Amino acid sequence: MKRFPKRVLAACALAVLALAPPLARASAEDAAEERAPAAGPNVVQEGVLHNTVHGFRFPVPRGFELRPSSTGDEVVLVVPDCDECILRVLVSPGNTDSLETTVRALKKQVASEPSAHVIDEQRTRVAREAAYTLVKEETPDAGPRILTRYVTFNHGEDKYYFVLREPAAQFGTDEDGFEKVLSKLRFGQ
């Protein structure tokens, strides 16, 4: 089996996060299922998401719901009445690439998209770890302008990506909740 460099896998993971459309709800039954507490690797109790696989927790922003198809390595939160409003947490187990390598791959991925450009970036800290945040603006030919904020950091032997992707008109409102997710993120059950 051919092994790919971790930075290639990380760039591919970021591309999937940015480009994957939200799943449409097929029925009212699906909507009810999304409101029910998950019984898998992600559990929401009293407004706090607990990931039992990697041992982290954070408050779920107001208006977001856990998608039932979320896994231990990919948590997806959606806004029911906004198809483009997605908050994803992707964990890349065993990926210890440096923050600088990850940031270079992320910038390269954004630069490869003709309708996208970086509008903000900075170093920060998340859960006591050095982190990097980058905001990308997409101006598609049709549809609303989309903003995506990426936050990436290493914790232990794993790489974490927190991503908020929304139409620009909604982004300012939900970015406050995203900031709270990052500031209240804790590891250890």
The secondary structure of 27-77, three-state, reads CHHHHHHHHCCCCCCEEEECCEEEECCCCEEEECCCCCEECCCCCCCEEEE
Answer whether residue 1 is part of any domain.
Answer: no
Using alpha carbons only, what angle is made at residue 102 by residues 99 and 158, rounded to the nearest 5 degrees? Answer: 70
- How does DSSP classify residue 130? E
Please give the pLDDT value at position 39: 58
Structure tokens at 132: 């990097």
Separation CA 109–CA 106 (nearest Å) = 5
Answer whether residue 160 is part of any domain.
Answer: yes
Please give the pLDDT value at position 9: 42
CATH assignment of the domain containing 173: 3.40.1000.10
Distances (CA, A) of 109 to 122, 150, 167: 17, 12, 20
Answer whether residue 42 is part of any domain.
Answer: yes
Please give the pLDDT value at position 17: 45
Please give the pLDDT value at position 156: 94
E strand residue ranges, the chain: 42-45, 48-51, 56-59, 65-66, 74-79, 82-93, 116-126, 129-138, 146-155, 158-167, 186-187
Helix (H, G, I), strand (E, B) or coil at 21: coil
Residue-range definition of the domain harbouring residue 171: 6-187
Question: Who contacts 131 (Cβ-Cβ below 8 Å, separation ≥6)?
Answer: 99, 123, 124, 125, 151, 152, 153
Residue 47 CB burial class (10 angstroms; 0-12, 13-18, ≥19):
exposed
Please give the pLDDT value at position 189: 60
Structure tokens at 36: 């029910």
Digitized pLDDT (tens) for each residue of the chain, 189 residues in all = 444 455 444 444 444 444 444 444 344 444 434 444 445 899 999 999 999 999 999 999 999 999 999 999 999 999 999 989 999 999 999 999 999 999 999 999 999 999 999 999 999 999 999 999 999 999 988 888 999 999 999 999 999 999 999 999 999 889 999 999 999 999 996
Count of positions (residues) in the chain? 189
Number of domains in the chain: 1
